[in-house]
Chains A and B, each alone.
Chain A
Amino acid sequence: MAKIECPNCGEQIETTGSVTACPQCDADLREVMEEVRRQQKAARGDLVRDESVTTHEFIVRTRDLKKIYIMGDMEVPALRGVDLDVRRGEYLSIMGPSGSGKTTLFNMIGGLDKPTEGSCFIEEVDMAQLDAFELAWLRCRKIGYIFQTFNLIPVMTAFENVTLPMIFAGMSSDEMMERGQALLDMVGLGDRLHHKPFELSGGQQQRVAVARSLANQPAIVLADEPTGNLDLQTGKEIIDLLKELNQEGGTTIISATHDLKMIDVSDRIVHIRDGDVERIEKRADLELEVGTLGSEHAPEH
């Protein structure tokens, strides 16, 4: 959605897509459109970028992370000493079969669970040393969450859902309104501010969830199977959105996923099996061919 003015005749044009010629005087508007697009990109980057003054190169570090679940009188080791370093601005995917410790590792990084041994650092802060208040602060300001089941509050509108973390962060009312509107515009739901989750499709709900995760400009965004409950096409849109945020805003994204399409856009892929990191792959080294729907590539036989 952009309002541009034709430099020739001064006509105000509102457009959602790309307009190449002015409807009034038929002047070439491509340059104007480019400028608008550039401005929107910069604004998006400002919206999303984590402004905290840090020099940390590694935004998440784990050292010999171990977790043992006690089921009755049996000890089940879920993680057997995981060392992981996540760089700022990286897009990391954690892959592994169920029972591999993928979810446990995810919970550790996200501050949802405490390790039995070892430590996990977010921006050089040891999470095991934090008490309940500090952990809540961390979850509010430093970590954004995206869930497989969207997890929007059903009685609140999209706008209220996005601004909820801002309320917890103590943002002023004006700033909240401005930022909430800007975030929803960024994910493409600017005209659905006051819709409740049941009035939105699955993809739209996940977009609201993405906007919500960015509410307080977090250092990292944790996505747990974000495309799990979405069909191929909608899943692709969400993945494109996340990739855009990663590239333009420099948001660090860590996702736990089975989806090969998400693997396709990540910088590194961590494979976990039986509580150990099996291998870490760089996307550049992988040869992935992901099937696409529709007519993007002509089938070769």
Chain B
Amino acid sequence: MGDIEAQRARQARQVWLVVMSLIVCGVGITNAMLMSVTERFREIGTMKCLGALDAFIVRLFLIEAAMIGILGSIFGLLLGHLAMLLIFCIKEGFSVPAKMNWLTMLTYLAVGLVIGTVLSLVAAVPPAVRAARMPPVTALQTEI
């Protein structure tokens, strides 16, 4: 039982934690988008009556998901990094910001943004496909 093994175990736990949170987030995004698609059945049906193709509807929802993904990621990243800085400052004194490697943090911010947006896009695919499959006649329906 060495120090290296303990460190590796800790790293593995961290990776597992991150992957789990990403999966939970993804499921949450899919659920929210599915609700949105179901509520907007009339809008989708109407657009199809006006001549929209299935691919257009898919693009529509994916672009929406990408925008939400970018905004959400930025917000989450800023909040998370601020919290992290605060915790480290409290633990090890307020000289941390001066000693920190800002370049690494910017890299983390960029990577986080990409991961967040990609996750949002991937999670939005099932609802988007569901929306595209709605027939135009749903525009006439009064309930789903």
Contacts and interface: CB of A to CB of B under 8 A. Distances in A.
A97 B94 CA distance: 78
Looking at chain B's contact residues, the main secondary structure is helix
Contacts of B43: 151, 153-154
Contact of A224 (B56, B136, B140): B140
Contacts of B29: none
Given A149-B42, A149-B142, A153-B43, A141 B136 contact: no
Q: Give the 5 A-B CB pairs with smallest separation, nearest first.
A: A140-B51, A168-B51, A112-B137, A151-B46, A165-B50
B50 A147 contact: no
B9 interface: no
B65 interface: no
Interface of B: 42-43, 45-54, 56, 135-137, 139-140, 142
Contacts of A137: 51
A120 to B, nearest CB: 15
Contacts of B135: 112-113
B140 A136 contact: no
12 contacts: A112-B49, A112-B135, A132-B53, A132-B54, A133-B53, A140-B50, A147-B140, A151-B42, A151-B46, A164-B47, A168-B50, A212-B50
B139 A145 contact: yes
Contacts of A181: none
Contacts of B48: 136, 139
A169 B51 contact: yes
A165 B54 CA distance: 15
A107 B56 CA distance: 23
Contact of A168 (B42, B52, B54, B140): B52
A222 B137 CA distance: 13
Interface string A193-227: 00000000000000000001001000000001000
A234 interface: no
Interface residues of A, number: 26
Given A112-B135, A112-B137, A224-B140, A147 B46 contact: yes
B46 to A, nearest CB: 4
A113 B47 contact: no
A100 interface: no
A111 B139 CA distance: 13
Contacts of A165: 50-51
A141 B51 contact: yes
Contacts of A141: 51
A107 B137 contact: yes
A112 B142 CA distance: 16
Contacts of A145: 46, 49-50, 139
Contacts of A164: 47, 50
Contacts of B46: 145, 147, 151, 153
Contacts of A139: 48-51, 136
Contacts of A113: 135, 137
Contacts of A154: 43
Given A112-B135, A151-B42, A107 B140 contact: yes
Contacts of B54: 132
Interface string A16-34: 0000000000000000000
Interface string A79-123: 000000000000000000000000100010011110000000000
Given A112-B135, A151-B46, A164-B47, A136 B142 contact: no
A169 B56 CA distance: 13
B51 A103 contact: no
